[in-house]
Structures are given as C-alpha cells and as structure tokens.
Structure 1
C-alpha cells in the first residue's frame, strides 16, 4: 500500500508540474463552454438589448431589469484507455502503457484545475474498469490509482465494445479522448456516431520498434487485404511483413477518418517527449 501511495504521489508530482506550467491554460482555452447560463439580474441601462429584459422582476419591482448570462464552463472529460496486451510494449520510460497512463493523468489533473468532471473507462476485449464522471481531487486520485494498479489480464482488444458502452452510459455532451494503439478494426461506425454528440479526440500510441518486434506472445494486427483482425504469434514467419504494412496503414486510416469527420488526432511516438506534442495540438485547437 505504501509503495502504491508513493507511485501515485510521483505521478501526481510529475504530471501536475506539466499541468501547472502551461498545459492547463491550453486545455482551458481549447474546450469552450456549451452555451450560456443565467448569472444575475441588474437594472436596465441605455443600450442594453431589450430581449434580455426580465419581465417577472420588472413587474415585481416596477423598474426595468435585464438578465445577465455567463459562459457555461463546466465540461465532462471522459477518457477511454486501452489496456490490452499490445499496449505493454516498449522499454522502460518508452512503454506505451506507461506513457498512456501519464497522458491520462495530465488530462485528469487539467480537468480538476478547470473544475470539470472526469470519467474513465479502461478496456481490452471487455470493459475492465469504469468511473462515471465526477469532480474533485479525491475522485481524480482514485482514477490515477486505477491506472497505476492495472494488472494485465487480456491480450485482445475490442474498441467498438468500449465505444458502445460509453454511448449507453454517457448521456450529456462530453469530450471523449480515446488512448490506444488502435490495433483493431470495425469500430469506425461507433466512433462516428459518438462524434455527432461529443467532441472526440484520438491519441494513438506507437513505438517505432513495433514494426520490427520479435518475441513471444499473441499480437493483434489488421490484414489490409481482407480488412480482418488477425491474432498472430510474434514468431510467425510472415509476422514482421504484415506488421510493417499495418504500422503505416493504421496511421493513414485514422488520419482520413478524423479529417473527414472533424475529430482530433494526436499520434504519439513513445520514444520521444510526448508533452510538446500534446501542447502543440491544444494550442492549434485554440485557434480554430
């Protein structure tokens, strides 16, 4: 338990330092409020829009009052994090699962600083853990603990299953961020459907050595010719050739999908510093 608390604290210190410097501001600016909410009434002044007159208060007081509104800032940020077998790739600080955990923590602490709700779903070929969106530091730390204590149980992945689960449970508008290597197929329709109601951003994690990976274990790859997902042993003769083709095809396919349906796309090479990549994306998003 003490070791877990130390891990949580180290991750909090590392990610909060990033958040406190510049990222929280980029996050705050990138996601606008979903309209206006009532703030207060005040006496009418010359030049005010008569459509803002509060007729009930005006009738009660005998003086003309208008309604004032403010931007509704509260958001719901929901992170879908792929924890399947293919995510556990890369040495040390280049590990995809580790980098994904840090990115999810940065997003969670940014939401906390912005007073937003944060929710989490971890998945493989099934839903592993689900936290409904809530506010507060206690909730964020619970989310971070879950990310750090995940134990690898399932090699395969099913992105469509995770998206459909969120579609059933997340009723209000939110910002959906999917963190995965996207070694899967058949999830596009569900993603497009969610994008009609929510803001969707895909963060694709990859390590350049994946295309040359040799070793044991079952790895999901997409057969470009058939469009089907295949689970191959890493020692299979044709494994490296198929994986190399998939490596480039996945990126191109996601770029086309996101460009067509106006979804966000952030490719993250886990061998490189990911923070400038995130910062650059959200800064550019602010200008749109």
Structure 2
C-alpha cells in the first residue's frame, strides 16, 4: 500500500508566491516562469565555458555555428598534431590534445506527470510541485541553449502536448498546461494506470531520431508496459529519466496507528509492526532498483529526485557523478 495523497507539507518554499496558503502544495505559472532565474545555478547543458556531463546526450543536427572547446585528453595516434595543447603537454610532460564539439540544436521533449500519485508530500513540497519545478528548469535551460523545446503533460487521462519549437512562447504554453494540470489535482482522483504508457507511445509517434526525451514522473509509475515502451523509445531517441519520490514512498516511520484515505477507500496500518515496516521498505527499495536496472541496461542517465531535498542541490549532485558507461 502507498501513503494516500492527503498529507500536508511544511509550507517552506521559495518564489513569487511563497506566501500563498497552498505554497508547496500547488504551483503557479508565475513560479514556473520564475525558474528561469535559476538555470545558472546548475549546468544542465554545456556552454563554451562549462561542460555538463549531459553533453553526451546532445549530439543531434548541427546548426552550423562552429565548434566549442570540449576537453583535453592524452594524445592518441592519428590525432591532428595541430590540436596539441602545448601548455598541458609542458606541464604534464605527456602529449595532450584538445577536443572540440560542434554547436548543435535538437528537439527536447519533456514528458511530465501530474497525477494523483504525485499529489502527496511529507516535507516542504508535494511531489507534483517538485516534478513541475524540474520540468520547468530543464525547459528554460534548453531554451537558453537555443534548443527547440516542447513536451507533454500527462496523468489524468487527457494529454496536453506542445510541439518542440525554438521559441519562448512554446515553452510558456507548456508551462501553462503544466500549471493548469497541477491546479486540478485532487486527493480523491482515480489514477489512470495507462496514462504513462500512452504518453510514451505518443512520444514514439512524434519524436524523430536524435531527439532528447526527458521523463519526469512518479517513481511508482514504472510498470511492465511502461518499461517496454521506454525500451522501444530508447532505440530512436536519447532519454533522461527523472523519477520523483517522497521518503514515505520508501519507508514508514514507527508512528503507531496510521490512517489512510483515497477515493472512498480507507486503510489503517500499525506501524509499530516491524515486519510490516520491513516489507514496505523492501517494496520501496525494489521500485528504486527497477529504475536503476532499466537505466543500466539501456545506458541512460538516471536522476531521481527526493521531495525532501532542494531541487538545485540534487541536480548538482547528480551532474557531479559519472554517467553509466562513461569513460573515467
């Protein structure tokens, strides 16, 4: 069983609407727009002066604006001698060569969930708010990198899709859809188990090879059908996986008798029962392990988000870690 999405978080949040009584529970369009001011805090995409670990995801159609310095590595047979970095070579006493990457653009398609599963939080924000913040930040970062941005908001049976375009208006349309979906979330809404699979199938229909699909969803959303769809999608486009969870999704505190309610159903759990807590923890660990196994199998970057932690700090930590299969 999962915690019912009726818990209320501490109202500690930031942004233009931080004083709203439902801050942390709902997110407004103004807050999503305000996320553009935070893109400099974390290098999601490379710039001429900052190289992101996600640069490997960014290898699509050239825009023809030249090349950027990428990194320095040890000289290998066949390298152009004109690219030798003489300063590094003199300092290390070993030949090193400069590598460059061409400036590129690509469609970046953000699939973000807003369902009753995410309408829950035991800390400062609901999972639905954290997912919306992450999607917005990635959208603004992509737009600042001159990429085409679009996406799809899913979760309640109806999908709201914005085709990728290199325009601020396109991103604002996506964020407006996202804010509207968030505003209509309720604790008693029934969850549509087919919503994720349908969203992934739609992505397969509209995305061309070389696109980047960013998946922002509840950690519990991954099932057999969705995993199959992700596997098929990964054959044609690059994927970035961002599952969102709350600590109560993975472990129950020893807090005595807890009562849960959702869509007319009620449940009582005695959390002093150690066996119950252990079984619940194993279930949560299994969900996390399934995402990790999928990412390892498909060699995809996995960036899980915890609703108890600051978004920027978590992204920084993920980006500082080596990607699976990346050279060390």
Name the TM-score class by shorter chain: 0.7 to 0.9
Residue 217 in 1 paired to residue 253 in 2?
no
Q: Matched residues in 2 for 1:238 and 1:196: separation?
A: 45
Match of 2:6 in 1: none
Q: 1:106 to 1:196 in 2, by over 3 A?
A: same
Q: 1:93 to 1:189 in 2, by over 3 A?
A: same
Match of 1:34 in 2: 60
Match of 2:243 in 1: 204
Match of 1:188 in 2: 227
SS of the counterpart of 1:85? coil
Match of 1:8 in 2: 29
Query: In 2, are the aligned partners of 1:85 and 1:156 still within 8 Å (CA)?
Result: no
Q: Return the TM-score normalized by structure 2.
A: 0.64
SS of the counterpart of 1:235? strand
| CA offsets 1:35-68 (integer angstroms, 9 cap, x no match) | 656569xxxxxxxx9xxxxxxxxxxxxxxxxxxx
Match of 1:251 in 2: 288
Match of 1:134 in 2: 165
Q: Over the residues paired in the alignment, what is the CA RMSD in angstroms?
A: 3.3
- Once the two structures are TM-superposed, the CA of residue 214 in structure 1 deviates from its matched residue by 4.1
- Of 151, 157, 169, the match for 1:120: 151
Any gaps of 5 or more consecutive residues in structure 1? 41-48, 50-69, 219-231
Q: Which has the higher helix share?
A: 1
- Of 39, 43, 47, the match for 1:19: 39
Query: In 1, are the aligned partners of 2:259 and 2:268 still within 8 Å (CA)?
Result: no
Query: In 2, are the aligned partners of 1:201 and 1:264 still within 8 Å (CA)?
Result: yes
Match of 2:319 in 1: 282
Q: 1:115 to 1:80 in 2, by over 3 A?
A: same
Match of 2:200 in 1: 163
SS of the counterpart of 1:86? coil
| CA offsets 1:146-165 (integer angstroms, 9 cap, x no match) | 11111236523332221111
User: Mean Cα displacement is larger for which, 235-244 or 82-91?
Assistant: 235-244
Q: 1:172 to 1:273 in 2, by over 3 A?
A: same
Match of 1:82 in 2: 113
User: Mean Cα displacement is larger for which, 237-246 or 103-112?
Assistant: 237-246
